[in-house]
Amino acid sequence: MKTPLIYFMLLPFILSIISCNKVIDISLDNATDRLVIEGNITDELGPQTIKLNTNVAVSNTNTYPPVTGAMVTVNDQAGNVYKFTEGPAGTYITPKMIGVTGNTYTMNVVTNGKTYKASSVMPGLVALKYISSSKSSFNGIDGTRKITINYHDPKGVANQYNFLMYVNGVQVKRVFVNNDDFTDGNSVNFDLIENDIGINPGDKVTVEMQCIDKAMYTYWFALMQQNYTGPGGGVTPSDPPNNITPLVLGYFSAHTTQTKTITVK
């Protein structure tokens, strides 16, 4: 019931009619220099990237110190080993690799004398059929549009999806995930409801659809729940559970990828 659940997260929208926001100064405690690993293996043949850096204080700018000189490899269950070499500082790349459906990929990162491991299974591809735009009932007053994507969920298998949305090349600052707990085997319309960027007629909207494994779904879903921390919603935030041991920040995700772009009417 992802969609109904999302609607309940949207109760903040109703409350926001009477509530008001103010940007304030606040001093925070810092626990920085924690390792962050962000690894992605896609089903597109080409360079695959794993990034290593550390977190920074919230008051800093969004630039993250790279972790250099690490040993990074990925292997699959057949014993193929892909070596990732450092390109730009902290960015580890293997030049030519394709993620294959059903394969389990295991990442090994050795840095500062410690080894970090994570595994992820490449799911089957589910086609992104189309993207459409319509008047949003949530933001009915300002005439902005909401984006709906459509796919046909395969019956009898568990599927999880992650969507990234860009409006005129700018990423919408929201997590959108869905699974087929309630929609197995059906044609699914999924609303990408957000209040970060107002989408207007004429805007170019690009949606990337990723098919992800269960652990990654939990990771993104936990982040999505924390997105809505306004009045009425909100869980106590914490670091989302991920698939890396020993525990550090970030994730390692093998996923399919496809994008579609529309011009909003």
Partner 1 sequence: MASPLFTIFIILTTITAFAQKKATINGTVKDAVTGETLIGASVTLQEFSAVGTATNNYGFYSLSVTEGEYTLLFTCVGYNTIAQKVSLHKNQVVNISLSPQNGLQEVVVRAKRLSNENVVSPQMGVEKLNMSQINQVPVLLGERDILKTITLLPGIKSAGEGNTGFYVRGGGSDQNLILLDEAPIYNASHLLGFFSTFNSDAIKDVSIYKGGMPAEYGGRLSSVLDIKMNDGNDKDFAVQGGIGLISSRIKVEGPLVKDKGSFMVSARRTYIDLFLKLTTDTSIRGNSLYFYDVNAKANYHFDDKNAIYISGYLGKDVLALKNVLGTNWGNKTGTLRFNHLFSNSLFSNTSVIYSSYNFVVEGLQNAQSFKATSQINDINLKEDLQYSIGYQHTLKFGFNILQHDITPGDITSPKNSSYNERHVEKRYDFENALYASDEWNISKHLTFLYGLRLSGLFLMGPGTFKTYDDAGNTISSKTYYSRSNLVKKYINLEPRFTANYVIDDQNSIKASYNRNSQNIHLLSNSSSNTPTYLYVMSSNNIKPEIADQVSTGYFKNFSDNAYEFSTEVYYKWMQNQIDYKDGSQLLVNQDVESLLTYGTGRAYGIELFLKKKYGRFNGWIGYTLSRTERKFDDINNGHYYPARQDRTHDVSVVGIYQLNKRWAFSSTFIYGTGNAVTYPTGKYSSGGLTTFSYSQRNGRRLPSSNRLDIGATLDGKEHKRYHSSWTFSIYNVYAHRDPYSITFRDSKTVPNTTEAVETSIFATLIPSVTWNFNF
Shortest CB 38 distance to partner 1, Å: 6
Shortest CB 205 distance to partner 1, Å: 16
What's the DSSP call for residue 202?
Answer: T
Which residue, 33 or 124, has its beta carbon nearer to partner 1? 33
Name the strand (E) or helix (H) holding 73: strand 71-76
Shortest CB 172 distance to partner 1, Å: 9
119-142 burial, b at 16+ Cβ within 10 Å, e below that, comes to bbbbbeebebeebebeebeebeee
Q: Going by DSSP bridges, is the β-strand pair 160-167/145-152 parallel, antiparallel, or unpaired?
A: unpaired
Which tokens belong to 5? 């659940």
Which residue, 75 or 132, has its beta carbon nearer to partner 1? 132
Q: How many CA atoms lie within 13 A of 241 on its CB side?
A: 6
Which residue, 85 or 186, has its beta carbon nearer to partner 1? 186
Shortest CB 222 distance to partner 1, Å: 3
What's the DSSP call for residue 17?
Answer: T
Shortest CB 111 distance to partner 1, Å: 16
Shortest CB 81 distance to partner 1, Å: 26
Which residue, 124 or 241, has its beta carbon nearer to partner 1? 241
Which residue, 53 or 120, has its beta carbon nearer to partner 1? 53
Alpha carbon distance 162, 169 (integer Å): 18
What's the DSSP call for residue 215?
Answer: H
Which residue, 28 or 78, has its beta carbon nearer to partner 1? 28
Dihedral sign from CA coordinates of 165, 146, 24, 234: negative
CA distances from 47 to 39, 85, 102, 163, 228 (A): 12, 11, 20, 21, 35
Alpha carbon distance 39, 36 (integer Å): 10
Shortest CB 185 distance to partner 1, Å: 7
Alpha carbon distance 217, 177 (integer Å): 7
Which residue, 9 or 121, has its beta carbon nearer to partner 1? 9
